[in-house]
Amino acid sequence: MLMKLRPTVRRKVALKYAEAYQIAFDAEMVSYKQDNCGRREANTRLRNFVDTYAEASDGICQPAQAFKGPQAKGLGQ
């Protein structure tokens, strides 16, 4: 997932990944579940971030939708 991001962003995202892992790891009370819980939370956050922002950081955007106000329906006259 990190390879989909620009190199300048990867380091920051990796630090946030580690923070998310540690928070989830510490929140789990059962010792043998801590590692899995931490990885699950950090991977979910990483996946959501990359899916949402990877294309935008490369400048790939969807065209803006046309405004459909009252004039578009013929009500503005």
pLDDT tens digit at each of 77 positions of the chain: 888 888 888 999 999 999 999 999 999 999 999 999 999 999 999 999 998 887 776 666 666 566 666 665 555 55
Q: Whole-angstrom Cα distance, residue 21 to residue 19?
A: 5
Alpha carbon distance 39, 44 (integer Å):
8
pLDDT at 45: 95
Going by C-alpha positions, the residue among 2, 29, 4, 31 that lies closest to residue 18 is 2
59: left (phi over 0), alpha (psi -120 to 50) or beta: left
pLDDT value of residue 9: 87
The pTM is what?
A: 0.70
